[in-house]
Each structure stands twice: as C-alpha cells, then as structure tokens.
Structure 1
Amino acid sequence: MTAIYLAGGSTVCSRRRSMAPMAGWGQSLPLFLQGVEVVNCARADAGTKRFVDGGHLDRILDTIKPEDLLVVSFGLSDMQERPGRYTEPFGEFQSDLRRYVNEARDRGAHPVLVTSHEPRIFDRFGNMRRPLMMYPAAMREVAVELTVPLIDLNEWSTGWWRRLGPDGTKSLFVYLEPGEHPNYPGGVADHVHLRSRGALECSRFVASQLLVQGMLPAQFFRNLETGFDADQVVEFLDDAVFDQMTKTRVAGGMK
C-alpha cells in the first residue's frame, strides 16, 4: 500500500484527547484519502533541525518505500529564537529542506513541500500581520530550485484568515472562553494552533492540491466536497493509546 509520511511540527501532528479541540491538519487528512496509509510522524514543537536531531527523519527514511510520499511542512517552530529550534530562513532552514528532499528521492520516494499556515495575528486596526512570511518564501525558493511540488497552505490560509477577520478566526484557532471546554477550564487564547474545524479545512486543501497537482491518482481521494461537522469527525486518541503509539514509533516501529 502506498504511504504518505508527514514530517512537520505542532500544526501538523495529531493530538491526544486531553488536548482537544486542538488538532493538527495531519490528524484529519485521512478523511480525504482512501487506499493509502497516512503515517503522521509530525511532532509538537519541532522545526526542521529539531525533527532531524530527534531521529524522526531517520525513522521515516528507514521505512519509506519507492513511490511513497514524504510531505514536509515546517516554519512556525523554526522562527522561534530558542536554542536547538531557530533556523535562519534562507540559511539552515533551506539546507534542511534540501536534505529532506534529497534523502526521500534517494529512496525512490516523492517529496512534497507544504508551507505552514499563518498564525492568527491582527493589529488593533484589524489588519493581519504575517510574522512567518520569510519561511514560506524560503520554502518556495527550494521548491523551484529542486523542482519539488509545493502546496502553498500559507497563502491559502492567509486569504481565509483575512476574510474572516479578528473575530471570525477565533472559531478556527484554540481560542476558548473560560468554561467553554473542559480541557481548558480557564480558557485559552492560542493564535498558532488550530481547533478541529481549522485543521479539517487545511487538510482538505492539502488533499485537494495533492489531487490537482497529480501527486496521487484520483481513486485515492474521497470527500473533497463533503461538508463535515468537524467536532464529530475529527478523531482524538485516548491519552494512553496515544502515548503507546508514540513510544512504539520512537522505538523504531513507525507504523
């Protein structure tokens, strides 16, 4: 069976039930695919460098097969100026991306680059800010340089965030009032991570682009035009199951 391996950070990774409604777009991607395995190897707080240093890329490369896809999406953690995380967008970040691309191709797999969605940052006048801007630009440059398929989730999400504005975007991000959700009794204002609806629509866009750009045959896709209640269809694993799966993958059994 063809597999899609996801290498990315916290906006891609699957979340445990105790963190709902926070979800990564990789978590809901299987809703739009059939006859193909989605192996979500994304890790919270991982940028291109930390993902490699943690051994996650090597574990993918140990199991990826010819004709599989390696979908790579980083940027939000890379811009954090903390030791072991920050990468210069037109320096180490690009060098790391080239490694992901070349290592996948060396194994007969097909790399795909996905720019990270933009954070929800608006000024007091309602104008949207784009703090991530240099990282999507750097990824686009690598895609052209190495002739790699690119899914520009950043540009697509920016258009959606702008249409919804400061108030409308709250329903897409983990922006919760006190008492609104039992997992966040005191409320939370997270302008980076998506809740189920935002993750679902981002994964729908990614899947649609995989089809439009011919990265997988049409028979592998489903539900691209289906309306979903995201709170009902996005699945969260119980914490114990989630922890066991994580341990298994870290031990080397990616699947």
Structure 2
Amino acid sequence: MTYHLAGDSTVAPAKPEELPMTGWGSYIEPVVEAPVRNLAYGGATTASFLADGSWARLVDGVEPGDTVVIQFGHNDQKLPELAARAGYTANLRGMVDDVRGRGAVAVLCTSVERRWFEGDRVTPTHGDYPNAVRDVAHDLDVPLIDLTVFTTWLYEDLGAEASAALLSHFAPGEHPLWPDGLADDTHFREEGARRIAAYVGRSLRAIERRDGDGPARGSQLVS
C-alpha cells in the first residue's frame, strides 16, 4: 500500500537549497512505514493541481487499497473563484470521487494553521475553509485529519515564544537564502514538519486500523 500526498507548500517535499524549510510530507514515511509519493508543491490550489496535470499524474499512480491524503486551502482562500463553499469544495468532492474510482481511500485534511498569536491565543486565519472541509468529510463519509485544530493546539501548548522554533524563523546570517533573517509563520522548518508528520502518520495508521474492522468515515481525528 502506498500513501499519495496532494497539497501545497506546507505538505511539499523539501527543496535542498531551502532546508531546513520544508513541508510535513517529507517526514511521514518512517511513521506510516509504507511508501509515500508526495506530489504537493508550493503555491498549489485545488484548481492549479487539477489544471496543471498534477492530480491526473497522482491518480494514474494510485492502486486499489492505496490512500490519498489531500490538504489544500492556504492558497485557495486567496482566489474568489475558489471560495470555501464553491470552487474549493467542488474540487475536493471531485478529488474524493476520483480516488474512490481507483479503489483507494481518500483522506481529507484541514489546513495547518498559521502561527499568528494574539496574546496567548492563536488567531484563526482560514475563515470558513476548515469548516467546509469538515462538512465535505461528513457529507461524503471520508476520514478527516483536522490539522487546523491540531496545529492551533500545538502552538498554544508550546506558547508564542517556543512555538517559533517549529516555523521558518532564522536569525540574520543563519541561512544563506535569508541573510537578513526571516520570520515566516506559515512554513515549517524541519522540527515543525516532523511534529506534524508524526501526528498525520499516526492518524493515518489509526484510520487504517479502523478500516480493517469497518470504515471510520467522516471521523475527526485530533489529539
């Protein structure tokens, strides 16, 4: 069984020249103990992933019994035509149908939250998009990994100062790409990507075990 990943930069494989900035998909394979095929890329929306052939390429490699993990939203929310209850969810529904047509399991993820603190609380930044994904998962009876909830909890549990170590915060001179430093509260560095991958991987293992006794569709997995 192979896991296939579709998503944006927060999922995408690490670029060697940008390490330690990386997506969580780079570190999931040791957790699930199965092959992982990561087609996520920076800037991707549900629409671009379909239009540029990435989705067709992903689906062509899916075999019966495989699992396809889908996480979009960060970039969709920037485009009016991909509104949460319009183009965005229509594309997600189509993706789920395609995966099921291959005899595989689709798993939906809400977006990882941005690390935007107001006091000791993280400010939600994705509007209705996480709820839209939750509703699609419920309506289509699809397993859901709620990364919006998980990452919000993770950042708040660590606190504003300590949680910065999970994201791409670099001091001046620390990284050649950002000689003046960087404070990026969206994209992970390796430490953060590994934490998210551990949670996603364990959630996928739980879904796989539940599916062995009967599908655990539409269930929300949070720690």
TM-score if structure 1 supplies the norm length?
0.79
Secondary structure at the aligned position of 1:161 is classed as helix
Which of these residues, 160, 176, 182, is aligned with residue 182 of structure 1?
176
Q: Out of 140, 163, 185, which is 2:157 matched to?
A: 163
Q: Which of 109, 115, 125 is matched with 1:114 structurally?
A: 109
Report what 1:210 is aligned to: 204
Residue aligning to 1:13: 12
User: Quick one: which of 87, 90, 98 aligns to 1:92?
Assistant: 87
> Which position in structure 2 is the counterpart of 1:39?
37
Decide whether the 8 Å contact of 1:211 with 1:217 is kept in 2: no
Which residue in the other structure is 1:148 paired with? 142
Deviation at 1:160, TM superposition (A): 0.9
> Distance in 2 between the 1:33 and 1:126 partners?
33
**Native 8 Å contact 1:173 1:198 kept in 2:** yes
> Structure 1 62/107 Cα, relative in aligned 2: closer, same or farther at 3 Å?
same
Residues 6 and 41, structure 1, Cα contact 8 Å, conserved in 2: yes
Matched-pair contact (CA < 8 Å) for 2:32–2:204: no
Distance 1:127 1:158 in 2: 8
Q: 1:31 to 1:216 in 2, by over 3 A?
A: farther
- Structure 2 gaps of 5+ residues are 213-223
> Number of aligned pairs?
212
Aligned-pair identity in percent equals: 34
Paired residue secondary structure (1:204): helix
Offset of residue 211 of structure 1: 1.6
Asked whether the equivalents of residues 68 and 104 of structure 2 are also in contact (C-alpha less than 8 Å), the reply is: yes
Do structure 1's residue 72 and structure 2's residue 70 form an aligned pair?
Answer: yes
Q: Is the 8 A contact 2:106 2:143 kept in 1?
A: yes
Matches of 1:27 and 1:215, distance apart in 2: 23
Tell me how far apart the structure 1 counterparts of residues 16 and 27 of structure 2 sit (CA, whole Å).
14
The equivalent residue for 1:200 is 194
Report if aligned partners of 2:68, 2:105 keep a CA contact under 8 Å in 1.
yes
1:103 to 98, 102, 119: 98
The secondary structure found in structure 2 opposite 1:19 is: coil
Does the 8 A contact of 2:2 with 2:35 survive in 1?
Answer: yes
- The superposition leaves residues 17-53 of structure 1 with CA deviations (integer Å, 9 ceiling, x where unpaired) of 110110100001112132x210000011001111111
Which residue identity lines up with residue 136 of structure 2 in the other structure? V
Structure 1 residue 126 displacement after superposition:
4.3
CA distance in 2, matches of 1:189, 1:168: 14
The answer as to whether partners of 1:10 and 1:43 remain within 8 angstroms in 2 is: yes
Q: Deviations over 1:168-227 (max 9, x none)?
A: 221011011101223422211111101001100100000111122236899xxxxxxxxx
Report the residue type matching 2:204 in the other structure: L
Counterpart CA distance in 2 for 1:215 and 1:13 is 26
Do 1:15 and 1:27's aligned partners in 2 also have CA atoms closer than 8 Å? yes
Q: CA RMSD in A?
A: 1.8
- What CA distance in whole angstroms lies between the structure 2 residues aligned with 1:216 and 1:177? 44
For structure 1, list consecutive stretches of 5 or more residues without a partner in the other structure.
219-255
